[in-house]
Each structure stands twice: as C-alpha cells, then as structure tokens.
Structure 1
Amino acid sequence: MLKVENLSVHYGMIQAVKDVSFEVNKGEIVSLIGANGAGKTTILKSLSGLVKPSGGSMTFNNEDLTKKSAPAIVKSGLVQVPEGRHIFAGMTVMENLELGGFIHNNHDEKKEILDYIFETFPVLKERLKQDAATLSGGEQQMLAMGRALMTKPDLLLLDEPSMGLAPIFIREIFHIIERINKQGTTILLIEQNANMALKLSDRGYVLETGQVVLKGSGKELLESEEVQKAYLGG
C-alpha cells in the first residue's frame, strides 16, 4: 500500500531524514518510534505533501506521492492527524467534522460516515454544538481523529496521539486505534509511548537522528534489548 525508499529531507543545510526506507501493507498497524528530533514528524509531513523531500521515493497505492499536492494526497486516501491535534477553535464540534468531510458531495455518504464517527466516538455526538476549544485534551484528540476519518481514508497517519493526555485517555485512544484498524483502516503510527505502540503494532521501525536503526515485528522490537534500554526503561 505505502512504500518509502531512501527518503531524504533537508531543512536548509540540516538533513532531518537520511535514506529512510519502510513499507506499510494493507490492514496493518505500523509504528515509527524514536526520540524527539529523530525525524518521525518530518516523514509524515513528507507523506502528506507538506514537506518536499530532497531525495528518494514515496508511493501510495502505486501512485507517486512526490508529484501530488497535499489536497490531492488527501483525496487519494492518505490522511494525517497532526501532532497537537490542531482542532479549529471558535468552531463547533460539528463544524470541525464537516470540514473533514470536504471531499464528499453526496449527502447520504456524509451521513453514513458521520454515523460511523458517532459510533466510534460517542462523546462527540454529545458535544456537537460545543466550541471545540472547550473539549478536554482527550476529547480534542478524538475530534481530530474523527475529522480525519470523515475522508474515509485508506491509510491514517497518527502523529503522537497520546501526547499530553491523562493515562485513562491514553488507554482509550489506543483502544480506539485498534478498533479503527479492525474496521478496515490501515494505520501508520508515530508515538513516544513505545510500549503501547509496539504492543498494538504488526511491525515497527526505530529511528535515530533521521535513520532507521532497527525494524521488526512489534513483538520482536518489544523484546529487543536495545529498545528496552532506550525506550522501555529496561
């Protein structure tokens, strides 16, 4: 579904991503883990068309992403939930969701997707007319995910979905990610909570200073001595 080969990204003279290669197969949850500054978010921004790579290739469903604009990438079925949520303050929950569904013109299709969103995130249905800025951190994360799911993506990119959340919300968000995946959405997950991410993932890649240094199944990486020492307090 997604294949990244020798991806390099520069910010001026600084190389943030160095010849990174990985793939995501249909139906999987794949994690990219690593410390701050490892290049994880830059990779997602490249996939979403927000940052232009300086080298390498990115193909999604056999189409070259480097030649597509950000809106065209969304319409092709690849959607990102950004770090920090970035919900639209001053707009209601419903207005935020409607903005997420901008690519759909069919009223019945939009209603069907909204029903799915409300089934997945019941709290959003209770808060439809509420200013999105007044939601709790966990509820805002649910809204950001719901807004992305309004596009009916084939591949959902999640950038640090548990960041800044209370433990009870972190567990709930990971349960929701698992449920979304089981209902047919492939997921590429960036997460500093390596333990929870790898437990959930089919496969994972460990990044350090813009490079992939380890890869394997979620189970293999959880049991890796290097991962335990660096990320799991082992």
Structure 2
Amino acid sequence: MDMLTVDKMSVHYGMIQAVKEVSFEVKQGEIVSLIGANGAGKTTILRTISGLVRPSSGSVHFEGKAIEKETSPKIVNQGLVQVPEGRHVFTGMTVMENLELGSFLYKNKKESQAILDTVFQRFPILKERKNQDAATLSGGEQQMLAMGRALMSRPKLLLLDEPSMGLAPIFIKEIFSIIQEINQQGTTVLLIEQNAKMALSIADRGYVLETGKIVLEGSGQELLNSPDIQKAYLGG
C-alpha cells in the first residue's frame, strides 16, 4: 500500500521553480531515499510534504488523504514527522525536556513513559545524559536526540533530512544502522541524503533528483550499480 504519494508536485520560490512536477511514492514499511546534489530540490520536497511550504501545483497524499493544504501540526498529528537538517535541538533545555517536547501528542502519562523507555533503549547515551543541556552533546549525539524526539510522537512515516550532515564517519555508520532498526520495527522512512552510497545501501528504492526533477529511479541496489550514479555521486 502507498503510504505517501506525491503527484506532479511543483514548488516555486517567487519566480524560481525549485521543484518541477515531481511524482513518487513511498510504500508502507519501505526505506526510500531521494539523492541529488545540493540545490537539487531535496529539502524543498520534504518541507512541502510536511506542510512548511505550499506546492504551486500537484498533490501530496498520506494514507490516501490529501495533505498539501494541511498545517504542519495537523500533518504531525496524522503520523508524519520530519527530522530537519542541522539537527535543531533546543539548547538551554535538557535532553529530557527536548524528548518531552516530542511527546506532546500523548496526554496519557503511561503511554509517554512507554515510548520514552523504547527511545532510551535505542539511544542509551541519551538516558545517560538526560539531565544535561542539549548544547553539551556532540554532533552525533544531537542527531540521535533529534531522531529520538521525532520517535516520541510514534510516527508512521519519518522524514529524515541529511541525517549524516557534518558527522564523523563512526557516527554516520551508527546513524544509518539506527535508521534501519527504526524501519525494521515498523516505521516507514523517507530519507534525503548527500551521502548517496550510504543512503542507497539501506534503501528499498531510490529516486535521483537533478535541478528539481526526478531523472532516475530504481531499487537501492540498481541505483548503486548504475554507471551514471557511480560517476555522478559515488566518485566512480
């Protein structure tokens, strides 16, 4: 079943067309990667799906319902949650306070606690540092906190914007294996990433964007093996 369907979506910033009639789908249970150079329109696509930007034409359906005119909070309520690029943790607040912001949908204390326990199981470092100011965490730990906070709202679909950006190689490996775990436990993932090799190696399917258009699609493996992709993105 298609969890997310984007159909002929275009986005303009003033006179500039950032996204040109893009169509793709994400099926339930998949990891789908959008790859492309900087400025290809990847972040704009995610921001439009999550309601932060309005498309100039085309549609976005989540679980069969049109959401392109919905507000961001409504979209989050339906189970579609984005981890923005650059981590965006709230400094001046503890790790715990950051996580609690993610569980605002749950009035039920018991339910919130159960979700928090699973987040701490997945990210033991956050439990160790729960009373520390989020500003004191390393880049990799802040990325884990941003992901943990998103998981607190129990998303059906997790949108990840450049999760490996600016991280040390050891953390990149760890973040990608966490993304796979989150997916195996039932969360569908749409991932945009500059690190094409890592993104495609965990993706069921991928789409390649160039200047606002999708120019190639295939399974993660097909795209990894494609000479065009190797030349353009994998240094081959």
Identity in percent: 72
Pairing 1:151–2:143 present: no
Return the letter of the residue paired with 2:201: K
Q: Could you tell me which residue of structure 2 aligns to residue 76 of structure 1? A: 78
Q: Could you tell me which residue of structure 1 aligns to residue 43 of structure 2? A: 41
Matched ranges for 1:57-72 at <5 A: 57-72=59-74
What TM-score comes out, normalization by structure 1 length?
A: 0.99
CA deviation digits over 1:52-93, x for unaligned, max 9? 000000000111111211000000000000000100010000
Aligned with 2:93 (options 91, 94, 104): 91
1 CA distance for matches of 2:18 and 2:140?
Answer: 30
The residue matched to 1:31 in structure 2 has which SS? strand
Q: Could you tell me which residue of structure 1 aligns to residue 174 of structure 2? A: 172
Task: Tell me by how many angstroms 1:179 deviates.
Answer: 0.4
Whether the 8 Å CA contact 2:54–2:69 is kept in 1: the answer is: no
2 CA distance for matches of 1:62 and 1:16?
Answer: 25
CA deviation digits over 1:166-206, x for unaligned, max 9? 00000000010000000000000001110011010000000
2 CA distance for matches of 1:216 and 1:187?
Answer: 16
Matched ranges for 1:1-234 at <5 A: 1-234=3-236
1 CA distance for matches of 2:179 and 2:166?
Answer: 17
Gapped regions of structure 1 (runs ≥ 5) = none
1 CA distance for matches of 2:48 and 2:67?
Answer: 9
Return the letter of the residue paired with 1:102: F
2 CA distance for matches of 1:185 and 1:202?
Answer: 14
Gapped regions of structure 2 (runs ≥ 5) = none
2 CA distance for matches of 1:225 and 1:8?
Answer: 29
1 CA distance for matches of 2:65 and 2:104?
Answer: 22
2 CA distance for matches of 1:141 and 1:50?
Answer: 21
What TM-score comes out, normalization by structure 2 length?
A: 0.99
The residue matched to 2:164 in structure 1 has which SS? coil
Return the letter of the residue paired with 2:175: I
The residue matched to 1:190 in structure 2 has which SS? strand
Return the letter of the residue paired with 1:204: G
2 CA distance for matches of 1:65 and 1:144?
Answer: 24
